[in-house]
Structures are given as structure tokens and as C-alpha cells.
Amino acid sequence: MQLSEDQAQDRLSSPSNLANRFGKMQVETLPRTGKKQGSINFPPFIKTSIAIQTHLKTDSQKNIGEAFGMTQANVSAIKTGKNSTDSKEVETVLSSVRDVALAKVMSSIGLITDDKLNACKAKDLSTIASNLSKVAANTFVSKEESGNSINLHIYCPEQKQETSYKVIDV
């Protein structure tokens, strides 16, 4: 149904119009809640990419956030899986990186012979061991970062012993 300009004005000014029954109405804009105006809703594949980069520690969270136009807090939330990140895909990529890293670590350990280790100083040996362990440790997702950890505390009262009861000799 189409109305002409005059018909629309007649309806708007009519006393039976619901808007006119309440008197003069004031239009107010409500404060925006949730995301800030102008913020970008990133697609899941970008959030997954950010989560992978932060877990692999390719750069600082601040620098990754600047590259994608977000704050460090947003990057941290994505890393912990709080912003609808595909955690299965992140774990799949991290698992493949972990497998490659561990394979390289194992092959490099195989290249370190006893003769080479005996020729190294203690400081060099500790550096080698530290660097090799960091490669594997950086690819594992810690339980604190996953955000889904459950702490269960069970209380078990001490059982009474026979000596704690009074004994009646008959």
C-alpha cells in the first residue's frame, strides 16, 4: 500500500495516531554496549591465525595486535580462546609444528656425539640443553592459558581407629 504525501501527513497528524496520544515524544540514542563503535569483527580464520602466532611466540602480543589493528588485551583473549577461536584447528597446527620441532630436536641430539659433548664446556652444554627444551615447551598449550581448567578438592575425613573408642572389658 502506497500513500501520497498528503495522506501520510494526515495520518501522522491524526489524533488517533498512537504517537500523538502520548504527547510530544523525544528521540534519544541509547549508549552503545558491547563492541566499541568502529571496531572490526574479525573472521574466525584471522582469530585462529592470531592464536597460532601468539602460541608460537613469533612476535610480542602488542606487535601482533598492532599488525591486526587490535589491542594487546584482544590478542591475549584470542590466545586463551575466549573470542570464539577454533581451538581444534589451533591445536592441530601447533601439534604439527611440535612434531616437526621434536623431530629436528631428536635429529640434532643424534648429531651431538659424546666426543663433541666432551669437548664442550659446562656452560655450552647447559645452553644446548636449555635451547632444545625451549623448542618443545613453546609449542605446548599450558593449562592456565586454556581457560578451561577445573580444580577439584576432595576432603576425606580421618577414619577413627579402634584405639579412639572406649573399650569395656566384660
Every domain of the chain and the residues it spans: 40-85, 96-136
| Burial (CB count <10 Å: 0-12, 13-18, 19+), residue 126 | exposed
pLDDT in tens, 11-51: 878 877 766 666 665 666 655 555 665 566 777 888 888 88
How many CB atoms within 10 Å of residue 53?
19
The per-residue pLDDT for 58 is 79
The per-residue pLDDT for 106 is 74
Residue 102, pLDDT > 60, answer yes
Residue 149, pLDDT > 80, answer no
What is the value of pTM for the model shown?
0.48
139, 57 in Cβ contact below 8 A?
no
Instruction: Return the percentage of the chain with pLDDT > 90, whole number.
Output: 0
Q: Which residue has the higher pLDDT, 45 or 1?
A: 45
The per-residue pLDDT for 40 is 64
The per-residue pLDDT for 33 is 53
The per-residue pLDDT for 36 is 62
